[in-house]
A and B are shown apart, each in its own frame.
Chain A
Amino acid sequence: MNFDYDSEQQEGQQKIAAVADLKGLEEIRVEYLGKKGKIAAMYAALAGLPDDRKPQEGKKINEFRSHIFHLIEDKRNSLVDKKRQEKKETIDVTIPGVSAPVGHKHILMQTIDEICAIFEGLGFAVQEGPEVETEFNNFTALNIPADHPSRDGFDTFYLKRPDPDGEKGNLLLRSHTSPAQIRIMQAHKPPLAVVVPGKVYRPDAVDASHSFMFHQIEGLLVDENVRFSDLKGLLEVFLKKLFGENIKMRLRPHFFPFTEPSAEVDISCYICDGKGCSVCGKKGWLEIMGCGMVHPKVFEAVGYPKGKYTGLAFGLGVERMTMLKHGIRDIRLFFENDMRFLEQF
């Protein structure tokens, strides 16, 4: 047997050059390189040759095979390129994408969720209470007697609806979230650890920092042997989780009728780092919440046995926290609900 490698090569070369699509090229590949193709036949014929010619012939076949193989591959590449160019469709990847619309949770609700989540993580339950309250829950049970100057800080809206529980007077809009403490303690025995977010109302004329409707979060932990040091430690953990590890906290003695001892909580102004700026009024500290140890009179009001339990309580203004955290200077923005405001958060 004798193959004319040159003419075979020429023939192959012509065929490959002439083919115009990938399908035709594949047929040629099978014709030459397939299991039953020409080159396979050449290798098979090699067996019948005398041993001395085998290496020489074998080398020729190898060369032939390699040549055809490369021609096919080159052709394939050029056909693919060509096809790609024919199909050319260039998109402008810089046009804005389109997504299903996503809404924005109100920033006050985000703050409430964030704070509640911190306390839930610490083992507190999140509870809620009604906004329309009784004089007893809002004041009396919290050791705020009628006609007492300690009520001055709690100016209150009253409703034209009599208190159905028979206590004299009308229902009111709670002026703080603390009445929820009373409800929770009336319904449950210690140990208990709860936070209560919600709306509260005070007849304050509206300006950049006052609103007649705002939100508070109340916290209450009651057990045997809760200590003042626990209050301090708990609030420090909370404030660091909320404002960052670097802030400093201080408790300043204060007065609330329903706690004793009582304190206001300041954090170092994170805008000026405690050096004094316009946000902290040059004090270097920001007043951020109120707290204290639950007054025995409050336990008495909810019918807990005398002297058995102690507890800590705290309350914070959600608007104020949010304003400090996000640099919002006007409380009215929260309730105007301008989309351009809502969609920033």
Chain B
Amino acid sequence: MKISVNWLKDYVTTKISPAALARELTMAGHEVEAILSTKDDDVFEMEITPNRPDCLNMLGVARETAAVLGAPRTFPKIKKRTWPRRGCHIEISDPQACSRYIATLIQDVKIQGSEAGMMKRLTAIGMRPINNVVDVTNFCLMETGQPMHAFDYDKLCGGKIIVRRARQGEKIVTIDGVERSLDPSILIIADAKQPVAIAGVMGGKNTEVTERTKNILLESAYFDPIIIRRASRKLGLSSDSSYRFERGVDDGTVQTGADRAIDLILRAAQGKIIGRSDMRTKSKKGPGRAIVVSQGWINARIGASLTAAKCLDILKKLDFGVTRGKKDILKIRPPSFRNDVKGAEDIVEEIARISGYDSLPGTFPQIKVSAISSDPVRRARQTIETLFLAQGFNQIITYTMISRKNLEMSGQERLPAVALINPLTQDQEVMRPSMLPGFLSVALSNVNKGQKNFRVFETGKIYGMGGEKETVGVMIVGRRTDDWRLEKKEEADFYDLKGVLEQMLARLQIDNSKVEFQPAETDFFEEGQSAAILINGKTAGVAGKLESGILDRWDIKQKNVLFAQVDMEEIFRRESSPRKYVPVQEFPAISRDISLAVPPTVLARDIEREIRQAINAQKDIVLMQTKFVEKYEGDKIPQGYRGMVFSLTYGARAARTLRDEEVAEVHKNVCATLIKKLGVVQR
């Protein structure tokens, strides 16, 4: 809201500089965001918080200013009048929406331009002068906060005012010249025939005051904030009036605002009062219950030792009614315009605010030991973050809202995605059901900017019909290593990806034997180059080399892109238990290699399983480790077969040194079993 400093000084006597005044108001909770200085005035751009509609006008700001500065204030005197009974006919068909309507009739007004002083005030705060009557309503709105509207009385059909809901299909042309369609959610002012104003929002063109107007009806009313807010939103039409009604106009200024306007209209446009009709649909609000607090309680809340006299003084300056009770009890009645003050804590704020937060002491709170400990999910997440960082992965954060188009381009259009009701743009229409589109965007932008080799991970969430799930995404783009000593720069492959995933799960104490990488085909991976990741037999993720068609569709110029995504929801929530110490083998173990030609149907996993089973059946010897040593292909092995070398480490079951002969025997049996069961060829 704009506030003219000159105008403000009509009500507050002070010599303070505009800059200092701005600081004082800011520190009292009314932030002056900018000062626009001209030759003869300074205008504040102020942020009035939604709880303080009483400050959306000059008198409200003047009251705060006077309280903060301790300066005297002079509010306009309103002439006392007795009102002839003869008013107009008012009918309020929706009493919930309009609790009071005052219509004042003035005859024989002389419509012309306003006097210079009035125009200066209005133009200073960015309002366009129209004519002497309209300007008065605007001036009074800005001065008192009471929205008012002047109708050309002769154009009101039947001389009637009806406050009612609009009928479906009714239309009105508002004073801005726009025709607007109305419906029953919108409250209107109508004459005997048609709508003449959108209540609390804007008047109609057909009854506006022009230079030909002779007789006027001045409306001053109270409209329900929620109804005005909905109408304003629905019509996409906000005005100085609707802004104030939405936030709540003071019940008390419906009349005083009208009285002030009458004084000014009579002065500016002569005219004669015919009469006034004042219709209430609710009985006058009595004084609310007093807020009773003790001075000691206030001080305990603030952590200060203010005197009762000081508190009393502050509250009185803000027009609160205060009486002192027994001991240090204060009985406080907030003024009618302070609907925001409902309880004792609001009193605390008033006192703290006007005392100045700066002047109050700071203490360090006692922070007691509580039963809540830090979230274990967060700790688990950090554990794997550390691992990825140590493996050279940069952490990324991608948008969790994505477009359906990007899902489709990633071959994931079939994933069910939760849609937004009110997306900003189509780029963010659904919550991501997968991290892949986000990772592809990152790959695209980096590769296009010349960064062709990198590895990234994200620890975030994906979203489905069942809610949000902790997820890890991993991507390796381009080469494996960046080592100038290597003659050949090697491209990263599936095993680089698998290695880090195995490490990740091991870090979280997911035993190797519980994790399985199973050959699986997925649309977005190259055929034969991807796996499903099973944990405890349940699919938890996928890993593989992205299909070149998808990379083409994204226009990613680097073709070696590996991606994995793992559902961590359950894994992160697992209770971790301390690792159990396993005694270090004191007697030397014996290792033996086994070199096999493996038929295409047999996987490394099958061989390891058979080895394990064969040795587990032994009485005296245990398998301490199976290590995959080498994979090779070539003319030395049968067509279609793959060469594999495993190194087996044997130990004795009892605490003793193994003899070479017994190992040789077992090893021979293992080989025989593999040949028999899997059809491998020993080499």
Is B truly associated with A? yes
The residues of A with any CB-CB pair to B shorter than 8 Å are 95-96, 98, 100-106, 108-109, 113, 120, 122-128, 130-132, 147-150, 152-153, 157-161, 170, 173, 184, 188, 190-194, 199, 201, 203-206, 212-213, 221, 223, 225-234, 236-237, 250-255, 257, 260-263, 293, 295-296, 310, 312, 334-340, 342-343
A residues in contact with B360, CB < 8 Å:
228-229, 232
Q: Is B634 an interface position by the 8 A CB rule?
A: no
The residues of B with any CB-CB pair to A shorter than 8 Å are 26-29, 31, 49-52, 225-226, 229-230, 246-247, 300-304, 343, 345-346, 348-349, 352-353, 357-358, 360-375, 377-378, 382, 385, 388-401, 418-424, 428, 431, 442, 445-446, 449, 451, 454-457, 461, 463, 465, 467-468, 481-485
Q: Assess whether B422 is in contact with A203, with CB atoms less than 8 Å apart.
A: yes
Q: Assess whether B421 is in contact with A250, with CB atoms less than 8 Å apart.
A: no
Complex formed: what's the CA distance from A280 to B364 in Å?
28
Give the Cβ gap from A217 to chain B, nearest Cβ, in Å. Answer: 12
Complex formed: what's the CA distance from A169 to B226 in Å?
18
A residues in contact with B368, CB < 8 Å:
123, 191, 193, 223
Q: Assess whether B29 is in contact with A103, with CB atoms less than 8 Å apart.
A: no
Closest B residue to A336 by beta carbon equals B445
Q: Assess whether A254 is in contact with B367, with CB atoms less than 8 Å apart.
A: no
Q: A230-B364, A230-B365, A338-B445 are in contact. Are A261 and B349 (CB under 8 A)?
A: yes
Contact of A193 among B349, B362, B367 (CB under 8 A): B367
9 A-B residue pairings within 8 Å (CB atoms): A132-B467, A149-B50, A153-B50, A193-B367, A193-B372, A205-B424, A234-B365, A295-B345, A334-B397
Q: Assess whether B372 is in contact with A127, with CB atoms less than 8 Å apart.
A: yes
A residues in contact with B373, CB < 8 Å:
125
Give the Cβ gap from A134 to chain B, nearest Cβ, in Å. Answer: 12
Complex formed: what's the CA distance from A152 to B49 in Å?
11
Give the Cβ gap from B514 to chain A, nearest Cβ, in Å. Answer: 26
Q: A102-B390, A252-B26 are in contact. Are A339 and B400 (CB under 8 A)?
A: no
A residues in contact with B346, CB < 8 Å:
260
Contact of B418 among A103, A160, A226, A335 (CB under 8 A): A160
Give the Cβ gap from B236 to chain A, nearest Cβ, in Å. Answer: 15
Known: A149-B50, A253-B357. 5 other contacts (CB 8 A): A103-B457, A161-B418, A223-B366, A228-B302, A250-B357
Complex formed: what's the CA distance from A310 to B463 in Å?
36
Q: Assess whether B468 is in contact with A147, with CB atoms less than 8 Å apart.
A: no
Contact of B28 among A233, A253, A293 (CB under 8 A): A253
Q: Assess whether B353 is in contact with A342, with CB atoms less than 8 Å apart.
A: no
B residues in contact with A124, CB < 8 Å:
367
How many residue pairs link A and B with beta carbons under 8 A? The number is 253
Q: A227-B303, A261-B352 are in contact. Are A102 and B389 (CB under 8 A)?
A: yes
Complex formed: what's the CA distance from A237 to B483 in Å?
46
Complex formed: what's the CA distance from A148 to B398 in Å?
33
Q: A96-B484, A159-B420, A236-B362 are in contact. Are A253 and B385 (CB under 8 A)?
A: no
B residues in contact with A152, CB < 8 Å:
50
Q: Assess whether B49 is in contact with A159, with CB atoms less than 8 Å apart.
A: no
Give the Cβ gap from B208 to chain A, nearest Cβ, in Å. Answer: 28
B residues in contact with A255, CB < 8 Å:
29, 49-52
Find the residue from B52, B225, B301 having the highest chain A CB count within 10 A.
B301
Contact of B446 among A101, A131, A236, A339 (CB under 8 A): A339
Q: Assess whether A109 is in contact with B365, with CB atoms less than 8 Å apart.
A: no
Find the residue from A127, A131, A228, A251 having the highest chain B CB count within 10 A.
A228
